[in-house]
Amino acid sequence: MTTRKRIVSLLMAVVMMLSFSLVSSATVFAADNSFTSSRLAEVLQDQLDEMIDNSNELRGTNRTLQITQISKISDFDGNTYTLVECAPNGYMIYHDASGIFVESSPVVNSPFYGESGTYKYVGPNEYYIIGEDSVCRNVLSGVCVDSATLTKLTEKSEIITQTLVENKNDYVLNYVSGKSNVSLAEVYALEKEMAAARSVEVGDWTCVKNYGFFMNLNNCGYISGGKCGYIAAGILLTYDKIYNGKNTVTSGTHYSYSNGVYSIKTALPTALYNKGVSLGYGASTTSVAIHYTVEAWLADRGITVDHTSLYIPFGTNVTIANRIDDDRPTIWFGNISDQTFNDTTGNHAVVVYGYTYGLLSGYSFVAHFGWTNATEVYYTGILGSVYTYEW
């Protein structure tokens, strides 16, 4: 196993009550459910404390965040999420029925921030808005969603909630609902006690050795049109050029370096997209499509590597963790795909460079999410498929 960077995060901060002076309770919760509201507020504040502790540990900083707005959003099947916006930046998205924080970031606002319309969320990197003209658009690409895709997104919404509920966090749900009088602080103490007998240290982050590349990669070569698989592939290839000395991309043409920061040029994901098109793939990609696109790209440069592409999300978490242990960043596709390999709705890609494991919360990952400044986003690995390659 190659050298890896293990980063020890701080223990979760003491639970503090969230003041609702920041946003009206009517915006956040039903008026007759104040008990649940106050307990969920504790959970949200606690998760914010944990997120910023993790970030400060990773970055060596001492930043603070505050919750500024909390609102309810839903998917296309009516399942609800709690969207939390923070200041000076940051966000969290909590799935109400499972007690799981599906994604969060301490360094970038949610893509919904400042947008006007009805927000629709279908998992990481799946952000949609229905405007006053009743047209549904993808927030990141601006592409209008046709009726066939809306049908798929509705089906996807149902499956995602089912998958999240199957992996639900009973400790959080029981606390929020009042079924359990055990405080969050006691839950985390229990987790620490249970972990003492295990080799996995709860709260520890394991990252690839050069994780700073991803955390500082503000310009990732973003191009519109749902081409995030090619953007993620470009990030991975550039990483190997810089840190492993491989002839994966060309300096100057595909990326630049200035004032200690690397920037990927749009020429790289554009060229990868064109390569994918030549192989019969389109903008929306799967782990398999990126596998063969990268394989062909590297073959043009006289490079042969071993590829791993898991299309159906079985064992995804462990696979990603194992790759990070081996100092290999990994592309994660935020989708739930059918076994016919025909479903290309929701195949959005991010580059994972670290993970942590909690006995109660399971695996969590930190990734570059494939748009400008989205350098540090945390998410659950329950949903998705995976692609990487090894030298």
Give the pLDDT confidence score for residue 198 in this predicted structure.
31
User: Tell me, what's the pLDDT at 178?
Assistant: 86
The tally of domains found in the chain comes to 2
Choice between 343 and 93, residue whose per-residue pLDDT is larger: 93
Structural domain including 338 reads 204-390
Residue pair 182/328 in contact by the 8 Å Cβ criterion: no
Is 5 a domain residue? no
Note the pLDDT tens digit of each residue in 165-211.
988 888 889 889 988 777 777 766 655 554 443 323 334 688 999 99
| Greater model confidence, 311 or 130 | 130
Q: pTM of the prediction? A: 0.82
Q: What are the residues facing 257 on neighbouring strands?
A: 262
Report the percent of the chain where pLDDT is more than 90. Answer: 53
Half-sphere exposure of 6 (CA within 13 A, CB side): 12
What is the pLDDT of the chain when averaged over all its residues? 82
pLDDT computed for residue 13 by the predictor: 25
Q: Look at residues 195, 219, 240 and tell me which one is the last residue of a structural domain.
A: 195
In this predicted structure, the answer to whether residue 338 has a pLDDT above a threshold of 50 is no
Query: Are residues 343 and 215 part of one domain?
Result: yes
Q: Which residue has the higher pLDDT, 69 or 260?
A: 69
Tell me: do 186 and 333 sit in the same domain. no
Please check whether residues 191 and 215 belong to one and the same domain.
Answer: no
User: For 136-145, what is each residue's pLDDT tens digit?
Assistant: 999 988 889 9
CA-wise closest residue to 106 among 94, 90, 93, 95 = 90
Q: Check residue 210 and give its pLDDT.
A: 92
Tell whether 357 is covered by a domain.
Answer: yes
- Read off the pLDDT of residues 345-391 as tens digits, 9 standing for 90 and up: 456 789 999 998 765 567 889 999 999 999 999 988 777 778 999 88
Residues 148 and 50 in one domain: yes
> What's the CATH number where 108 sits?
3.10.500
Examine the fold and report which residue of 195, 228, 252 is the final residue of a domain before the chain moves on: 195
Asked if 262 and 297 sit in the same domain, the reply is: yes
pLDDT in tens, 200-244: 333 468 899 999 999 999 999 999 888 999 999 999 999 999 999
Give which of 325, 296, 300, 297 is closest to 238, Cα–Cα: 297
Last residue of one domain, picked from the residues 195, 225, 256: 195
Whether 321 has a pLDDT exceeding 60, the answer reads yes
Tell me what pLDDT residue 341 has.
39
Tell the residue number behind the tokens 């004032």, with chain if given.
259
374: exposed, middle or buried (C-beta count within 10 Å: 0-12, 13-18, 19+)?
A: buried
Mean per-residue pLDDT, 90-114: 95
Residues in the chain: 391
The alpha carbons of the chain give a radius of gyration, in whole angstroms, of 20
Q: With 0-12 CB in 10 A as exposed, 13-18 as middle and 19+ as buried, what is 98?
A: buried
What pLDDT does residue 180 have? 79
Selected residue with higher pLDDT from 346 and 323: 323
Pair 347, 227 in one domain: yes
Q: Is residue 25 domain-shared with residue 85, that is, in the same domain? A: yes
Q: Measure the CA–CA gap between 284 and 228, rounded to whole angstroms.
A: 8
Which tens digit of pLDDT belongs to each residue from 55-96? 998 888 999 999 999 999 999 999 999 999 999 999 999 999
In-domain check, residue 4: no
CATH number of the CATH domain containing 217: 3.90.70.10
Q: Based on the domain organization, do 294 and 384 belong to the same domain?
A: yes
Contacts of 115 (CB under 8 A, 6+ apart): 129, 139
Q: Which residues contact 388 (CB under 8 A, 6 or more apart)?
A: 236, 307, 308, 323, 328, 329, 330, 331
